[in-house]
Structure 1
């Protein structure tokens, strides 16, 4: 019988193994903490608080923003009775907000008190109105278009109105008349009653209308005046006096209604 002998080598190798494991775990923990701190510094290290720019000149505000790594953008210009001309009237983001570096800060410049009288440009062309506005230091705002009767390409309305006071910005928006819209030109429906079918077609075509149906409305025989036990069929009588066969006796739309080119017309004929 063979005997197996186990030799105890001591605790030193076991301790050495655990020391290696604990050292590796400590190194991993240090690496994770370092990575977290680095990310936090990378994120928050590029953040700044937006400074107060109100009542600064545009050049002063630009230098102040640039010193913090921000970009100044002049977005609007408004009249103001309280803030002198050339200074910052408002800003966004507001002072104290936290943003990343290179973030744009949009500002509105004050034009001071309104000193320009809004001119009357109604009746002028778009180009002439724009020149007159620029000559006074004003800008042409929104240009609207409408098709109405009258002189084409002329201003028929403006906002603010001529001579207006207390306007907020140096812009004047105008509404231009493009003249009548030929594609939507309307007509008065002519009377086709009394025409033959061919004559009605010719008259409608001359107005740009289309006849889509011609219904036969030849009158039936009148009912008998005395009752009879058995109804006796009667032949259709001739058309009443004044209704010539093949003549238009009714129409839709009626004469005098407003129609446009391409509209359809329905006729009623007697045969």
Structure 2
């Protein structure tokens, strides 16, 4: 018995299916691109529809500028007032943003109002109390500007200087700033730390003394060696006892704290580290005289600066 197997050629159907899906994909991508482009155009139109052009209000009165900005759907704020010899009082001296700028609806325009030529006389408040000075400035139809403080001897809250000065002319803004005294703080007086590296201790201490500041020094030195202890009859007995420390003759300054140029006070405990020069022999201990009436040797101090270690910081 023979079995016949028949093969079906479906390559054409596969090609038609692939072409159909490709067409569907291209159509969907085209629709997505069109939708994205439409959304972008809609957003752009919406943004530009909410923008307005800034009108020119320079030279107008404040009321006229307010009406013009209201018609343009903008807000108006008078930010400053300045004297002017060219623009009459009550009119707009300048504006921000500039005319023709595109801004969103409801944007706040800031203008400067002209006060015309200066007519007010700058009051003299130097030497007054701060409150009295502020009252004098307001009586002159002016504004109190910045109030700065400076430590000074004498009573506090006294006007030391003012800007603009009394009776000044050609002032731009009707505002007076004051410099007021305040008592000295309890903090120690500060100085600029000089450069002491390379100097001897005596010269460095003299420079610091000119600023009424102390100066401590640290000198590197080795530990004293131990020597045997002797009995009254000269025999060596017991454990070894430390020998007297040698006197260290300091060299020039190697480093300093604080560094040169830093702010320094007596509370900062300024000190320097010396380079180790050489060690002079230590004064010998007074020997026990062998015979009654033998004179004792005379001990001399080395001719070297006194070297002290600064106290520990707490």
Does TM, normalized by the shorter one, top 0.5?
A: yes
Cα RMSD, aligned residues only: 4.1
* SS of residue paired to 1:33: helix
* SS of residue paired to 2:125: coil
* SS of residue paired to 1:86: coil
- Listed one character per residue, the Cα deviations across residues 121-147 of structure 1 (whole Å, up to 9, x for unaligned) are 111111111111111110111111111
Query: How far apart, CA to CA, are the structure 1 residues paired with 2:85 and 2:25?
Result: 75
* SS of residue paired to 2:94: strand
Q: Which residue of 2 aligns with 1:235?
A: 297
Structure 1 residue aligned with 2:47, among 40, 43, 50?
43
Q: Which residue of 2 aligns with 1:170?
A: 174
The question of whether the paired residues in 2 share the 8 Å contact of 1:149 and 1:180 is answered with: yes
Q: Which residue of 1 aligns with 2:71?
A: 67
- Displacement, 1:59? 2.0
- Displacement, 1:82? 0.6
- Listed one character per residue, the Cα deviations across residues 73-127 of structure 1 (whole Å, up to 9, x for unaligned) are 2111100011111111011111111222222211111111100000101111111
Q: Which residue of 2 aligns with 1:118?
A: 122
Q: Does the C-alpha gap of structure 1 residues 238 and 27 become closer, same or farther in structure 2, counting only changes over 3 Å?
A: closer
* SS of residue paired to 2:146: strand
Unaligned runs of 5+ in 1: 190-207, 212-219, 222-233, 240-249, 253-263, 266-271
Q: Which residue of 2 aligns with 1:151?
A: 155
The question of whether the paired residues in 2 share the 8 Å contact of 1:91 and 1:106 is answered with: yes
Q: Which residue of 2 aligns with 1:231?
A: none
Unaligned runs of 5+ in 2: 191-210, 213-265, 270-281, 284-295
Q: Which residue of 1 aligns with 2:59?
A: 55
* Greater relative contact order, per chain length (Cα 8 Å cut-off, separation 6+): 1
- Taking structure 1 as the reference length, the TM-score comes to 0.62
